[in-house]
Amino acid sequence: MLRWLWRSKQKEVLNLDDCVFCRIIKGDLPCRKVYEDEKVLVFEDLHPVAPVHVLIIPKEHIGSVMDLNVKNAQVLADMHLAAKNIAGKTGLDKEGFRLINNCGEGAGQTVNHLHYHMLGGRKLGAKIL
Ligand code: AMP
Ligand code: ZN
């Protein structure tokens, strides 16, 4: 039990050090920032799939939706309000946009720090698959 606890704590520490998005938040890696507040950072995706493709991330390291709990889930509201703010500034509020969250390897999550992809600027089909 103790060994398991020690291993999972070590993994948590390693994850934080290795986490690309935490490094961006710390300023150790560059990003093209489009919005920031106390809780949330938004920046352009390195490999955009739409004219507007930004990533909305919490400043607190949360691995995925599966790591949300009653204490940290308020940040989801903050992330959605950031999306609304960006939409208003870019005209996406009228055009429409899509928020996507990939949770877990099987769903294509490659960065283990909770994030929404915000996509817009082109016609997005009704089907998501
Ligand atoms: P996901 O596959 O849902 O985990 O999305 C991760 C996204 O992060 C991908 O769309 C990547 O292009 C993007 N990404 C990874 N590293 C960076 C980075 N340093 N700056 C901006 N976007 C990144
Ligand atoms: Zn992180």
Residue 115 known to be catalytic: yes
Is any atom of ligand 1 closer than 6 Å to the C-beta of 71?
no
Is any atom of ligand 1 closer than 6 Å to the C-beta of 109?
yes
Q: Ligand 2: distance of its center to the CA of 25 in Å? A: 8
For position 62, what pLDDT does the model report?
Answer: 98
Q: Is 2 among the domain residues?
A: no
Q: How far apart (Å, rounded) are the C-alpha atoms in residues 116 and 8?
A: 26
**What phi and psi values does residue 98 have, to the nearest 5 degrees?**
-125, 135
Q: Is 16 among the domain residues?
A: no
For position 26, what pLDDT does the model report?
Answer: 98
Query: Please, what sign has the CA dihedral across residues 13, 101, 68, 74?
Result: positive
Q: Is 127 among the domain residues?
A: no
Contacts 24+ apart (CB under 8 A), 85-93: 85/35, 86/34, 86/35, 86/42, 86/54, 86/118, 87/120, 90/52, 90/120, 92/52, 92/120, 92/121
| Residue numbers of the domain that contains 76 | 31-120
DSSP structure class, residue 35: E
Q: Is 22 among the domain residues?
A: no
Q: Is 83 among the domain residues?
A: yes
Mean pLDDT by 10 residues, the chain (129 residues): 48 67 98 98 98 98 98 98 96 96 98 98 85
How many domains are there within the chain? 1
- Pick the catalytic residue: 80, 113, 115, 117? 115
Whether 92 and 114 have beta carbons less than 8 Å apart is answered as: no
